[in-house]
Amino acid sequence: MNIIDIISKTKKSQQLSEQEIRWLVENFTNGNIPDYQMASWLMAVCLNGLTDKETVCLTLAMRDSGDILDLSKINRITVDKHSTGGVGDKTSLVIGPIAASCGVAVPKMSGRGLGHTGGTIDKLESIKGFRTELPFEKFAEIVNKTGFSIISQSGELCPADKKMYALRNATGTVDSIPLICASIMSKKLALNADCLLLDVKCGSGAFMKTREDAEHLARLMESVGTAAGKKCRAMVTDMDSPLGANVGNALEVKEAVELLQGKVKGPLYDVCISLAANMLELAGKGTINECTALAEDAVRSGRALAVLKETIELQGGDGRVCYDTGVLPKAEFSHVIRASRDVHISAINSEEIGMASLLLGAGRISKDDDIDPTAGIVMDCAVGDNISMHAPLMTLYSSRCSDFSEAAMRALNAITFKDI
């Protein structure tokens, strides 16, 4: 086998064998295939795609490039959840504690964000003292005690994906559904939970802009998970508008806590309950209706909030955040955007809200950038609202940026108005 033949076959839409794909992944990961040749193959995949069988083979080869976790020390059935990401997506902070309080173990490894908002790890690190880098033994101990823990991804998991993703990001080959599937699923399968729920976001603030693409990715990810022997389910959820009112790291932790306190209803609550119920059904806790009732009771009773508090404290964080969100870091500067006339909100472009939050410091352009944990946007309006002249549309926050003019213009342009 050689890389030239493999590039040529993919360029001609000829199917690669499992042996060829494993040889490709192994030799690229080990440094025997240079970046420029791998980039050529990745571009051929972007242009011509891969068959479902090739995608399964690629995913498993990437999974097998590093460690596969042994979760046998965890004494409950394990369920992992992955979201393809979006603006204001703090669901992991909510549904993990809900599922754990209903008897399921949720061991989760997450990453830091690259782009307009932070990742789950960035959000958690806005809690004073919270440690995301823990030895596996400590991670398993916390999961056994509370049912829930989130730590940062280990460098030992999926080195092939880490190397391939960096190259895809540098060569404009990120937007390929088979490559997206292999990247996500290789890491999820390496974590090795019993069950896997996949939340595929669709809309302006998601990577999948169209329903058709989102459903294609969801079907492919589900089939890969099933082929790997996991109980796997993919759901397509909306990301045309920001998920919830708060965008930005500490702001999103605040909203997640307030939801578990019973103060937040609406679309964010509905999505979280739906996702948690599907996790519980996958884990054998009952029908979807029974699991929905379990999830709702976990919030109503305060059991889910208690799980979050205990987990935060076991990971070194300030558990007071669960009854006093005022302990979260606060922005030094703020700016209120108000309606200039009476208007009806007909659309909110999630991606543009996310880009405005990036300008405030809530995200990072390169992986080495520092995030301002206080930065972000709180939406005071939602699609369908009628807003009176001078009423607030949103509030911008930052400790790094005192001139809000550019971010405010971008955020305001994200809203589509109709006069009333």
**Average pLDDT in the 162-181 region?**
90
Domain holding 32: CATH number?
1.20.970.10
Q: Which residues pair with 29 in a beta bridge?
A: none
Are 281 and 143 found together in one domain?
Answer: yes
318 and 265 in a single domain? The answer is yes
pLDDT, tens only, 2-60: 999 999 999 999 999 999 999 999 999 999 999 999 999 999 999 999 999 999 999 99
Distance CA 309, CA 11 (A): 52
Average pLDDT over residues 392-406: 95
- Indicate whether 274 and 139 sit together in one domain: yes
Asked if residue 228 is part of any domain, the answer here is yes
Q: Are residues 217 and 274 in the same domain?
A: yes
Structure tokens at 271: 């999505």
Q: Is residue 264 part of a domain?
A: yes
Overall average pLDDT of the 333-355 stretch = 95
Alpha carbon 197 to its chain centroid, in Å, reads 12
Confidence of residue 117 (pLDDT cuts 50, 70, 90): low
Residues 304 and 390 in one domain: no
More confident residue, 132 or 206: 132
Total domain count, the chain: 3
Class of residue 179 by CB neighbours under 10 A (exposed 0-12, middle 13-18, buried 19+)? buried
Domain membership of residue 136 (yes or no) is yes
Asked if 234 and 295 sit in the same domain, the reply is: yes
Asked if residue 17 is part of any domain, the answer here is: yes
Is 164 part of any domain? no
pLDDT at 347 over 90: yes
95: which 2 tokens? 């549904």
Q: In this structure, what DSSP letter does residue 284 have? A: T
Residue 412 belongs to a domain: yes
The predicted structure's pLDDT at residue 115:
63
Same domain, 129 and 238: yes
**Same-domain check for residues 116 and 231:** yes
Residue 420 near residue 342, CB atoms below 8 Å: yes
SS3 376: strand
Q: What is the CATH number of the domain that holds 147?
A: 3.40.1030.10
| 176-203 pLDDT tens trace | 999 999 999 999 999 999 999 999 999 8
Name the β-bridge partners of 297.
Answer: none
pLDDT for the residue numbered 396: 98
Residues with active-site annotation:
82, 161, 168, 183, 187
259 with 94: CB under 8 angstroms?
yes
Q: How far is the C-alpha of 208 from the C-alpha of 200, rounded, in Å? A: 8
Looking at the predicted structure, is the pLDDT value of residue 123 above 90?
A: yes
Identify the residue whose tokens are 């759901």. 235
Residue 285 lies in a domain: yes
Residue 365 has pLDDT above 80, yes or no: no
Put the strands of the sheet holding 343-348 in their side by side order.
386-387, 343-348, 415-419
Q: For all residues of the chain together, what is the average pLDDT?
A: 93
Q: For residue 308, is it within any domain? A: yes
Say how far apart CA 38 and CA 136 lie, in whole Å.
Answer: 33
- The domain of 7 spans 3-49
Residue 154 has pLDDT above 80, yes or no: no
> From the CB of residue 8, how many other CB atoms can be counted at a distance below 10 Å?
14
Which of 302, 322, 342 is at the close of a domain?
322
Judgement on whether residues 148 and 36 belong to the same structural domain of the protein: no
293 and 346 co-located in one domain: no
What's the pLDDT at 370? Answer: 87
Phi-psi domain of 51 (left: phi exceeds 0; alpha: psi -120 through 50; beta: other): beta
